[in-house]
Amino acid sequence: MKRDTDYLFAINKIKVLENRMLSKGILSRMIDAPDASDAYKMLQETPYGEFLNEYDSPYDFEAVISKHIEDVYRTVDEATGNASFTRFFRIREDYLNCKILLKARNFDGDNYHLSSMGTIPPETLSNCFKNEDFSELPEYLKVAVEESKELFSQTGIPGYIDFAMDRFMYEHLYEMAKADSFLKDYIEREVDLINIRSFIRIKLMDESVDFLKAVLLNHGKLDRDFFYNVFNEQLAGLPDRLKFTDYASVVEQGVKSWLESGSSMEMERLCDNYLLEYAMQGKFAAFGTKPIWGYILGKLNEVRLLRIVMVGKLNDIAKDLISERLRDVYV
Amino acid sequence: MDITLGQVFGLAAAAIAIAFPGIGSAIGVGLVGESASGLISEDPDKFGQSLLLQALPGTQGIYGLLTGFIIMSRIGLLGGNLVALTTWQGLLFLGAALPIAIVGWFSAIAQGRVAASGIGILAKRPQELAKALTYAAMVETYAVLALLGSVLLVFGIRI
Amino acid sequence: MAVVNMKKMTLVGLKDNMDDIIDTLHKSGSVQIIEITEEEDNASFYQKGLSDIEDRLNEYKFAIDLLKSFNPHKKGMFEQKPLINDETFNEHLKDELKYLDDIKNLHHLEEKQNELNNEKARLEGRIEVLTPWKDIGIALRRLGKGKYATIKLGTIETKNLPDFQKGAEELTYFGYEELKRVKNTVFMAISYLNNLEESANNLLMQSGFSALADEGSGTPEEIINSLNKRINAINENLAEVETNIKDIDKDWEAFTALYDYYYIQKEKFEKYDDLLMTRKTFCLQGWVPETYCEQVKDSVESTSPYCYVEFKDPAEEDNPPTLLKNNAFVTPFELITELFSLPHKGEIDPNPIMAPFFFVFFGIMLGDVGYGIALSVLMWLGERLIKPSGQGKKLMDLLLLCGISSAIWGAVFGGWFGDLFGIPALWFNPLNDPMTMLVFSLALGVIQIFTGLGMKAYINVKNGHVIDAIFDQGFWLVFLTGLLMLAIPNFRNIAAIVALIGALGLVLTQGRSKSGVIMKFLSGLVSLYGLSGYLSDVLSYSRLLALCLSGSVIAMVMNTLARMFGGGVLGFIIGLIILIVGHVFNLAISGLGCYVHSSRLQYVEFYGKFYEGGGKPFNPFKLSLKYYNYQ
């Protein structure tokens, strides 16, 4: 029987670990630092610090991030005694890795970074793709990869790989999430926001409704018919249509900025913040699974922010530009 | 010496007064303990403070023991001369034990949950420990009232 | 005077002297610096310096941590941190280059240590693999793929053996020999002709054959011996590295002192962020308790003559921090309020009126002469040994006082380690007469609740709301007094009249903020429902009885248990052990309960009536060193 007191040990361990997460303060100090290596050094005092000796160049920050996330996953696995929490996120990485490999092969590129945070080691994955032999992959990945390839060879459009893989991935994630009401809700919201963005993109590209049909993901709170119905309306009217949903403010500000600037950057930021805010429920819960999901989601958000800052610093991007792209933090 | 049915009920009264709040306290203290070990695994300095929170849901067990003890002393079990209770007298004791037995059981679990959440407060804002303690003490009020009820009932029975 | 008046200090000085002035303030520890600029204009000024300081701190921290792993430098529990002053800092700073060299050395040594440990682990791994093969006298150089045939050593699990044997028979020119068995593992040597390689490998894979792979050339035993020799050599090297590291332990004092020095610098640099700066001057604002103003001014002016210091009363929009000052009896009880919430700006300090209640309630709940004296003596000794400061000291003082109170009430209620000595009560024993105790508890509750209402009335009058004081608190007091008097038989008639007047007053006035006569009357009537609140507040004080009883009953249980072992020396010893363990346990658990529940009565029942809180504590900019105390 599942009780909401099953993970008390893990929850309270996590509450302490949350105190050590990167604050807005340290991120903005990093942005203010004179150069990338000074910014990098500021991580010394944070949980990332323990890997800094091993990887002392700021260009190694990706390695530090994956080491740290591995650490986070291991801690969660050990504290909960249940690998299904991190498995949810590892499987997502598997799909993303496969997506990269599928596309890399099609473009003959070999300069790609695979995430080592999945369930399958990157070497195994790339070997499978090199040898065209997917028998070692788990059934779900095998099906997804082969069907995506099939679809690509039929249409010749690389973008279809993304659509197909995303569909398989979200089907799978939803399947894993549906037993947990918090996570199910989270995935549904994530799907909605992805669908809304795809919708806007397709409208801006003047594509057909058939294209939309191929792209929309299932399991959102907004059903497909909603999108078909508003497809023939002006894009500027979308915020009105969503006025009484949870996404009203995200869509209103996001669409406005998108239409004005022609860039989806602000919209992406708003969506990330929206999902983070949802995840933050975990911070205030003392029982159940919310605090654990919230912590992992918060950590992944933190890693995303760290990437924005480090990439910005390494490329000498102006401070305000980096700050502009920064999202909220979990703590 | 013949044992009367009343004496059996009297002993049962003491037994449930001790057993049920004890079960509740054990569960409650266990919940807090589990939470606290999570905290201590990362922040061992807070051991003393977390112990304060963990001890709180334990009082119901003590109240139960207290009631049981008073019942035992009323029916003469402690002195060695067990009073020959009538069946009805025995049932009266059983009834008198019910408030602390039931309320003690459930309030200890509820208090355990509040104190377990309090561990989260301790993790984030250790300076607010007093507030976490107060929240947990709010739950205890009902155990205190039940204890009061049971004690008055036990003393009110004529032998 | 319970809440200390705060003055707002404004200090303008030359930038050249800024470092010295801030240093002086830091060491005086009586100013809370206000952040007056949110812009990051100063960033360029201090970022570089701060980052250098942090580098140094990291270096010293590394050295200290490494040295600690060899010599923990543990201090006794009651030992004080050594003292340090500017002179010592300067002395160490003079030799800093030397110390930094030593740290560089430590880095090298640590690296070397890691390398050696890694190699050692690798060798030990090899030995572990080879050990089961130790008694097999085959030179490993003869294994592997030869010109015509291949020879391998390896293991398979017993459960796979039948399949393996069957498969082996099917292959011609495939030989195997079982060497020995350990538990479920079969050690064997196999050989096959090279042209069979593929099918042989298949068979080996299917049956889970794991081959011995080692780059050595002698027999396993010879290899193990030579590996052990190398491990011994590594151990010697390691020991040498360790002695070298330990040699640097002589710098321990300097490392910790310099760590603290840079820590001070870091805190100072971080404060630059809060100042306002021009090209040549800087401006600092801070809160200073009135009593320290002169002292601060003198010390700043003696540091730098070219500065301007001014003290002002807080303005309307200012929100000064709260500092309390009370007499020796009340001070420990400040802790209770600190843990709740400090008085906000302009609010009175509730401690002087709360302290006697807490004192009495704790005493009643613990109610035992033995426990009280034990608690007080423990706290008295503890203070002498640990020399706590801040809240720790307040807590110990508080418990010391509460111990005295417990001893007094213990005498009143006849508790001397429970019923251990059978000393009769001065007044009555709550265990024999719980009804009297209940009435007494509730009576105390009534007194405290009335006091709370009185305090609220006093605050209203003080703030000029006389009408509110009469209507909101006055009528309630009248109404409640009337109701209470009903309990006294001879006063029934007067009591009824008094209660009626109070009730009428409440009905007529409580709706005064509402519009319309009917609404006024209705909300007035509804306000009488507040009576249930007072009822539950009073009943809440029954916890005085509950905790008093539970403490003494547990004590009694322990005594009863101990007496069961009555006769003989052995019985006496066992009994004594039970008594000591039992009473210590009871003191701890009951003491905790008494503390929590006395606090709760103050927070919920008492403070709920008149006290708001929400003040920020006075948090001066002061030194906080890790290894030393600054003199």
φ, ψ at A162 (rounded to 5°): -60, -50
In sequence order, which residues have a C-beta less than 8 Å from that of residue A10 and are 6 or more positions away?
Answer: A76, A79, A80, A292, B38
More confident residue, C421 or C566: C421
The residue written with tokens 């509950």 in the block is C546
Interval C567-584 mean pLDDT: 90
What distance in Å separates the CA atoms of residue C236 and residue A128, rounded to the nearest whole number?
A: 47
The residue written with tokens 């500017």 in the block is C86
Nearest to A5 among B31, B36, B123 (CB): B31
φ, ψ at B132 (rounded to 5°): -60, -40
Interval C89-100 mean pLDDT: 88
Interface check for C222 against chain A (CB to CB < 8 A): the answer is no
Which pLDDT tens digit goes with each residue over A147-206? 888 888 888 777 788 888 999 999 999 999 999 999 999 999 999 999 999 999 998 888
Nearest to B42 among A5, A16, A287 (CB): A16
Task: Please answer yes or no on whether A15 and B38 come within 8 Å at the CB atom.
Answer: yes
Mutation for testing the C interface, residue in B144, B155, B157 having most C CBs under 10 Å: B144
Least Cα distance to A277 among A303, A304, A254, A250 occurs for: A250
Q: What is the pLDDT of residue C473?
A: 92
Q: Rounded to a whole number, what is the distance in Å from the CA of A186 to chain B's nearest CA?
A: 23
Instruction: Give chains near B: 3+ CB pairs under 8 A.
Output: A, C
Task: Please answer yes or no on whether A33 and C58 come within 8 Å at the CB atom.
Answer: no
Average model confidence (pLDDT) across chain A? 88
Which pLDDT tens digit goes with each residue over C103-158? 898 889 988 988 899 899 888 888 888 888 888 777 877 777 788 888 888 888 88
pLDDT > 80? residue C469: yes
Tokens of C617: 């504590």
Task: Please answer yes or no on whether C589 and B52 come within 8 Å at the CB atom.
Answer: no
Task: Please answer yes or no on whether B120 and A11 come within 8 Å at the CB atom.
Answer: yes
Q: What is the pLDDT of residue A295?
A: 96
In chain A, whose CA is at the least distance from the CA of B118? Answer: A286
In chain A, whose CA is at the least distance from the CA of B43? Answer: A16
pLDDT > 90? residue C368: yes
Tokens of C190: 């196999």
Mutation for testing the A interface, residue in C35, C39, C40 having most A CBs under 10 Å: C40
Q: What is the pLDDT of residue C531?
A: 84
Q: What is the pLDDT of residue C194?
A: 84
In chain B, whose CA is at the least distance from the CA of A4? Answer: B113
Q: What is the pLDDT of residue C40?
A: 54
Least Cα distance to A74 among A65, A63, A83, A62 occurs for: A83
In chain B, residues with a C-beta closer than 8 Å to the C-beta of A18 are 123-124
Neighbouring-strand partners of residue C283:
C12, C276
Mutation for testing the B interface, residue in A3, A14, A16 having most B CBs under 10 Å: A16
Task: Please answer yes or no on whether B34 and A8 come within 8 Å at the CB atom.
Answer: yes
Q: What is the pLDDT of residue C1?
A: 46
C45: confidence class by pLDDT, cuts 50, 70, 90: low
Q: What is the pLDDT of residue C490?
A: 83
Task: Please answer yes or no on whether A34 and C47 come within 8 Å at the CB atom.
Answer: yes
Contact A73, A89 (CB under 8 A): yes
For Cα atoms C618, C622, C625, give the angle at the middle one, nearest 5 degrees: 130
Q: What is the pLDDT of residue A109?
A: 47
A262: confidence class by pLDDT, cuts 50, 70, 90: confident
Which pLDDT tens digit goes with each residue over B2-40? 789 999 999 999 999 999 999 999 999 999 999 999 999
pLDDT > 60? residue B73: yes
Average model confidence (pLDDT) across chain C? 87
Residue A64's SS3 state is helix
Task: Please answer yes or no on whether B116 and A13 come within 8 Å at the CB atom.
Answer: no
Task: Please answer yes or no on whether B59 and C553 come within 8 Å at the CB atom.
Answer: no
Is the ipTM reported for this complex over the cut 0.90? no
Q: What is the pLDDT of residue C41?
A: 56
Quick one: CA dihedral A148, A151, A155, A160, positive or negative? negative
Task: Please answer yes or no on whether C54 and A44 come within 8 Å at the CB atom.
Answer: yes
**Lowest mean pLDDT, pick from A157-166, C353-362, C369-378, C403-412:** A157-166
Q: What is the pLDDT of residue C528?
A: 84
Pairing of strands C276-277, C6-14: unpaired
* Contact map slice: C 20-49 vs A, CB within 8 A: 40, 43, 47-48
Which pLDDT tens digit goes with each residue over A37-49? 888 988 888 999 8
Which residues of C lie closer than 8 Å to B, measured between beta carbons?
Answer: 336, 339-340, 431, 434-435, 438, 539-540, 542-543, 545-546, 549-550, 553-554, 556-557, 560, 589, 592-593, 596-597, 599-600, 603-604
Q: Rounded to a whole number, what is the distance in Å from the CA of B144 to chain C's nearest CA?
A: 6
More confident residue, C45 or C33: C33
Interface check for A84 against chain B (CB to CB < 8 A): the answer is no
Residue type for B134, please? T
Residue A61's SS3 state is helix
Segment of C370-384, C512-526, C601-615 carrying the highest mean pLDDT: C370-384
Task: Please answer yes or no on whether C550 and B148 come within 8 Å at the CB atom.
Answer: no
Reply yes or no on domain B5-156 having CATH 1.20.120.610: yes
**How many contiguous H segments (helices) and E segments (strands) does chain A have?**
17, 0
pLDDT > 80? residue A53: no
The residue written with tokens 């003392």 in the block is A286
Q: Rounded to a whole number, what is the distance in Å from the CA of C538 to chain A's nearest CA?
A: 32
Q: What is the pLDDT of residue A170?
A: 94
What distance in Å separates the CA atoms of residue B4 and residue B84, rounded to the nearest whole number?
A: 7
Interface check for B125 against chain C (CB to CB < 8 A): the answer is no
In chain C, residues with a C-beta closer than 8 Å to the C-beta of A33 are 47, 51
Contact B57, B122 (CB under 8 A): no
Nearest to B66 among C539, C549, C603 (CB): C549
What distance in Å separates the CA atoms of residue C593 and residue C601, rounded to the nearest whole number?
A: 12
Q: What is the pLDDT of residue C444?
A: 96
- C-alpha to C-alpha distances, C214 to A280, C131, C485, nearest whole angstrom: 54, 12, 98
In chain A, residues with a C-beta closer than 8 Å to the C-beta of B43 are 16
Which pLDDT tens digit goes with each residue over A314-329? 998 888 888 888 888 8
In chain A, residues with a C-beta closer than 8 Å to the C-beta of C110 are none
A252: burial class by Cβ within 10 Å (0-12, 13-18, 19+)? middle
In chain C, whose CA is at the least distance from the CA of B61? Answer: C550
Q: What is the DSSP string of B44-84?
A: GGGHHHHHHHHHGGGHHHHHHHHHHHHHHHHTTTTTT----
Interface check for A14 against chain B (CB to CB < 8 A): the answer is yes
**Number of inter-chain CB pairs under 8 A, A vs C:** 13
Interval C470-490 mean pLDDT: 89
In chain B, whose CA is at the least distance from the CA of A79? Answer: B38
Interval C519-546 mean pLDDT: 85
DSSP state at residue C469:
I
Least Cα distance to B148 among C437, C417, C409 occurs for: C437
Tokens of C236: 């010697």
Least Cα distance to C338 among C398, C402, C391 occurs for: C391
**Rg for chain B (alpha carbons), in Å?**
19
**Number of inter-chain CB pairs under 8 A, A vs B:** 59
Which pLDDT tens digit goes with each residue over A270-304? 999 999 999 999 999 999 999 999 999 999 999 99
In chain B, whose CA is at the least distance from the CA of C592? Answer: B52
Q: What is the pLDDT of residue A1?
A: 61
Q: What is the pLDDT of residue C612?
A: 85
In chain A, residues with a C-beta closer than 8 Å to the C-beta of B41 are 9, 13, 79
Q: What is the DSSP string of C296-365?
A: HHHHHHHH-SSEEEEEEPPPTT----B-B---TTTGGGHHHHHHH-B--TTPPP-HHHHHHHHHHHHHHH
pLDDT > 90? residue C168: no
Q: Rounded to a whole number, what is the distance in Å from the CA of C158 to chain B's nearest CA?
A: 42
Alpha helices in A205-289 (DSSP H): 209-215, 224-230, 238-241, 248-261, 265-279, 281-284
Q: Rounded to a whole number, what is the distance in Å from the CA of A77 to chain B's nearest CA?
A: 13
In chain A, residues with a C-beta closer than 8 Å to the C-beta of C54 are 41, 44
- C-alpha to C-alpha distances, B128 to A331, B41, B148, nearest whole angstrom: 18, 20, 31
φ, ψ at C559 (rounded to 5°): -60, -45
φ, ψ at C266 (rounded to 5°): -65, -45
